Each structure stands twice: as C-alpha cells, then as structure tokens.
Structure 1
Amino acid sequence: MGQLIAITGANGFLGRACVAEARRHGLPVLAVTRSAPLPEWSKDPGITHLQLDLTAPDAATTLANALPEDAALIHAAAHMGDDPARLARDTLTASETIFDVWTTRDPRLVLISSLSVYDTDRLAPGGTMTESTPLIPLPDGSLKTARDPYAGAKRLQEEMFQQADREDAWILRPGAIWGPTRSWHALQGFWASKLFVTIGSKGELPLAHVDHVARAAVEAARTPTDGIAILNVFDDDRPTRARFLRAHRRVYGWPRLNLTVPYSTWATLARLLRPIAKHLPGLFREPILRARMMPLHYPNTRLRHALGGQDIDTFEGMMARTKEGKG
C-alpha cells in the first residue's frame, strides 16, 4: 500500500484533511488522536487509529512502538489559542514526545508550524515575507517574553527540532488556514457589535486553504530532504482584504455591515495609545497589529519549487467550495 503516514491531531481541522489526502494517494494512515476516532474512519481499512495523549509519560514509547520502519510522521497536534498553560502542555510537551520518537525511530518528520513565528517588526508596510525573514525574539527563551503566547509556543516548538543534529525533516509554516466550516479568518479585522471593522484593504492575505496545506504536508512526508527544510505555505491566489470581503459576502451573505479603516490610520491610533497599550485588546497594540494586519506580500515560490503542485481553484472558486463543504 505504500509508506505509512502517522498524523497527530488527526481529528482536528488540518489533521483530518491530511488523513483524507494521504488516503487519496492510497497511503496507509496511523491516525493519532487524544479523543475518540472519527466515525467515518471505521469504514476505511487503510486507517488505523491510535488513541493517545501525547503529554502522557509513556506516550513516546507507545507511539514509537506503533510506527513501522520507513514511516513518516506529520505532527499537526497543537493548541490553537493563547492560553499559556495549554500551549505549554498541548504544543510544547506534546512536541517533546514527538521529538523523542523522531530521535529514536527516525521517521521522516513534517512539523506544522505557523507564519506567526516571523518578526514583522523587521518588515515595513508593502514588504515581502519569505523563509529568510527574521523570527520573533525570545529574550529569555520563554512564552512570557514572546510577542504573544501562541507565536512564542510555535517559535519554541521549531527551535526544539532545529537544534537537533538530524536530517530528513520539513517545517511547514502555513498562513491563516481556512476551508469548509472555517470560511472566515482572524486577519481581517474585528467585530464591533453587528459592524465588522476591516483594517486596510491593500496587501495580500496570507491565506492557506486547508486542502492546500494538507497536500503540501503529505507531499513533504513522501519527499526526502537533506537536513531540515523550511517552507512557507500560502495559496497561489492570495486576495486583498477587500476582495476577500466581496467573495465572502457573495457566498455567505455576511458581514452585511463593514467599515474599512486604512492600515496607516489604525497604526497611527495604535502609536498614540502606546502608553496604555498593555491594557487594550491586541489590535490596539503595535506588535500585534503589525503581525496580523500590516500589508505585505507572501510568495510561495520555495514551496512550489520544492514540492510542486498548484491551487485546486481560484480564490473565488475555493470560497464557493467552502460553502459546498468540499475542497
């Protein structure tokens, strides 16, 4: 049947897309989840389920024993919020388990990271984010000094694997992952009651459709590489915020009320509020505002050179597919 691919967080938004993509290629899958398996997996003999808490003391031994020779491992399990305690446990401690498995059994590793690790304070509006863009600093190596807890956890997670003297591993840094059941994203602006405030309409949105990310992850799991290869994962067709708003309204009918504020105007407001910024929501704080809203370009040149592929459809086509529940 081909190389087995183990996928952690296999019942999550990206994880289940990775399972479907691997099975599309006829590859056997070891679906690793903390909770019960998805019901549809029972109908597919090519999917084996392993219920495992990656933070348990014996988790590394259990997972290592379940992996055959020449397996690949996509590590997609992580906490997606900003809770420092959960990030420490579900992202960092879980990754320590994967690190132990990687260094003892030597599967090809695909780590799902995030574009949040980049230091946007080193970029200017209209600039370009690439794999060479500097990463956020962590002065004392802890979440407390990071720009925000989630970015800090992903930065520490990457550092854990990069410090090892290992080969044949990929680190994928997707943009804002979207798709069926998750058509909206956190990089557009914010709600003020029934009014949505879009911050800026210029610059590309670093969107990454869940099926595009899954295809990149599975292709990386099937592709040998020297050392640790790092790739940004963005859609080929990256809309502006204005284009995203039009397409979402056309397909879903909301948000009905929108106010667009230029990024430069909002950035000026954030600078004026700097003395009280620590008491304000994230988009009123300059580092968070720059990381989420600054107009930039997000090429995926290195991704296409290393793994090939292309978008399944145009951005508008992918938006229509989200409503239909398919990629």
Structure 2
Amino acid sequence: MWLVAAFALAGGLAQLVDGTLGMGFGVTSATVLLALGVAPATASAATHAAKLPTTLISGLSHWREGNVDRAVLLRVAIPGAIGGFLGAVILTSISLEAAKSSMAGLLVFFGVVILVRFGFGLRIIPVPKGGHTARWLSPIGLLGGFVDATGGGGWGPVVTPSLMTVTRHEPRKVVGTTNAAEFVVAVSVSTGFITGAAHQDIPWLPVLGLVLGGVCVAPIAARLAGRLPHAPMGAMVGGLVILVNAVTIVGAFGDLPLWLDLALMLGWIGFVSRIAWAAWGREKAERAAVEEGELTLPVG
C-alpha cells in the first residue's frame, strides 16, 4: 500500500510537470524505475503502460480547455506511433547491459535538454525554422516516438520545443497538442513491447501508483497550463533526472567513496537550486514586462 502511495505521489508530481510544461512524465517515471533496478525494456514498458490512462485523461482535459490543434495532432501522432513501435521492438532486442547504459545516457541527455531549456532559456535540440511548415511535423513525430520508446521518455523534450518553433501557437496549445498526441504514441509503444514480450516482468504496483497519481492530477495540470512558473519547475526536474541517471552511469564503472558521492550530490543540488532561483527571477521579470506591454512573451 505504501509503495502504491509513494508512486502515486511521484506520478502526480510528474504529471503536473508534464501537463504544464509539455514534458517530464516519461523521463521522470523511467528514471525512478531504472533507479529501482528495473530492466530498461521493462522500465520503458511500465512507463508507457502508465501513460495509457494518464495521457488519455490529460489529452481529453487539454481538449476540453481548447488547448489542442487537431490538424497538428494528427500530423505528429501518426508518425510518432510508427517511430514508437519501431523503438520498442529495437529496445527489446538488444542486451540488458547495453540497453541500461544507453537508456541512462539518453535520459541524462534529456535531463540536460530540460535543464538548459528552462534554466537558461536556451535550446540544444536543433529544430527547423520557417513558421508553420507542415513538412516538418511528420519527422518531428517520428523522431519523438522513437526516442520516447528507447529512452523510456523523450516525446515531450523532442516534440514540445519543436512545435513551438514550427507553429505559431501559444505555449498552452503546444503543450495540449503534445499531450494529446502522446496517447496515440503510448498505445503504439505498448503494442511494440507486447510484441517483444517486455511486458512480462512489469512491476504493476508502481505502475498502478503512477496511474492513480497521474490521472488525478491531469485535469488540474491542463487547467494550469501556461499559468505556473515554468522555468524553475523545468530546471529542477531536469537537474533531478541528470542526477539520478548519472549515478547509474557512474555505478557501471565502479563505486565511489560515500563521502564523495554525498559531496557531489549536494554540490549538484545546490547548483541546480541556484539555476532554478535565477530562472524564476527571469520569468517573473518577463511576465511583469508583458503585463506592462513592454515585451511579448516568447513561445519557445
């Protein structure tokens, strides 16, 4: 019971972040499961099993709030489903150690993407230029679905900033469309893992907790999209993802002395906290300038 409650809290927080920032649920959930020693393919399968109800509720909630562009939804969801299925099949066919290292490395990368994106207001994933160009939507969906399956998460970090560049939508509509399309991708990825038999060892109690927390928070997150302070939330999530997966990677090369582990962790937490605090100040200043009519709030 306590295990379910703990994962419900984690799922609720992850969905709050995902539903307001457009990224975070898959990356956060996969990170927690990997840290518990769950096999990479199983961790991704479990994460996507939890995504089925949470993304459905989240997508419907965003739809009700008017946060979804149906044309863009179809153009990214269908290629995303194809990429997700292929990624799931590939992940179940490689060795356990190779999969664990590659997934942890990919999650660290997406942690850096999230930290830099929200902590410093920059992008490190190249995205196409040129306004609302339909030809870019399918490649974005295909890539997002593939890395989402192989990394246990990654749909949001790839698709959300890309759509903010190639469409002229305000952030809440990009977040809503990304969340709604993610349900289609989750269905496809789960089908791929069933094909590869990665579903057999799924830890269902943690998945149940993630589902309960995510489903309860999804409607709230959809209503709060565009209203909560994005920058400090994103910076802290990115920093946490980097920390946990870096521990996994370093552990593969041998154990560090306990004092050094603690010193590095505390130093990193302090560093990320300073970034989040500075990002919060920058966001408040930008919002104040927008309210005074001195600045147009950027959508990227």
Higher-Rg structure is 1
For normalisation by structure 2, the TM-score amounts to 0.26
For normalisation by structure 1, the TM-score amounts to 0.25
Give the structure, 1 or 2, with the largest relative contact order (CA under 8 Å, sep 6 or more): 2
